[in-house]
Amino acid sequence: MRDVTLTNIFDHHIAKKYVTRSGLAHAVAVAYHAVKLAKIENVDVDLAAKAGFLHDIGHYTWYNQNGKWDYELYRKNDIHAIKGAERAHKLLIRLGENPIRAKQVSLAILFHTDSFLPGGEVDRTALQSIVKRADEKDEEPGGAHHYRTITADKARQSLQKLDSIIDRHLTQQLQQRQAE
Ligand SMILES: [Fe+2]
């Protein structure tokens, strides 16, 4: 029923490379949080899951000369939300996602953090707000959430499970609408 599933995304080498770089366990956890919130707030669960899973796909590494993560460099130079929005969009379109939906996911990734904005708040849609809060739910002090590990097999299984949760929810919604 969906054009692209989370498992399809995971199986693509671009997702494997970049989502793994910023923390696969974190990406899977945020996708789960996003689906939970989307169910409660009656927001599109498929879009929430995709934006949740891909939200950090634009991360770049900022290391100092000693090979240590440099938060100062990151804070000054980071554009991971911008890069991620573009990267996720390209990936989804390649996989055959509907362009309107690919754009919604891309915008939710763009606005999942304020870190690249020079002051000022963003007026977020329900979907964009969910992705931001889902990310915050999984955050650990010192960015430790980016280093939590999970095997590729376990991640794929978790995403397959989330795919069936999403499909079940969408089928239920459709049946409810037809009954009305
Ligand atoms: Fe994140």
Ligand 1 centroid–CA 138 distance in Å is 8
Q: What percent of the chain has pLDDT over 90?
A: 73
In a domain, 142, yes or no: yes
pLDDT digits (tens, 9 = 90+) for 129-150: 999 999 999 988 877 888 888 9
Ligand 1 centroid–CA 117 distance in Å is 16
Ligand 1 centroid–CA 176 distance in Å is 34
pLDDT digits (tens, 9 = 90+) for 32-42: 999 999 999 99
Cα–Cα dist 22/24, whole Å: 7
Domain tally for the chain? 1
Ligand 1 centroid–CA 180 distance in Å is 39
Ligand 1 centroid–CA 118 distance in Å is 19
Which DSSP string do the residues of 3-22 spell out, in sequence order? SS-HHHHHHSHHHHHHHHHT
In a domain, 20, yes or no: yes
Ligand 1 centroid–CA 174 distance in Å is 31
For helices 126-137 and 99-110, angle between their N-to-C axes, nearest 10 degrees: 50
Confidence of residue 87 (pLDDT cuts 50, 70, 90): very high
Residues with Cβ within 8 Å of 34's Cβ and at least 6 positions away in sequence, in order, are 48, 49, 51, 52, 130, 131, 134
In a domain, 1, yes or no: no
CATH code, domain carrying 135: 1.10.3210
Domain that holds residue 65: 6-179
Ion ligand 1: residues, CB within 5 A, are 56, 135
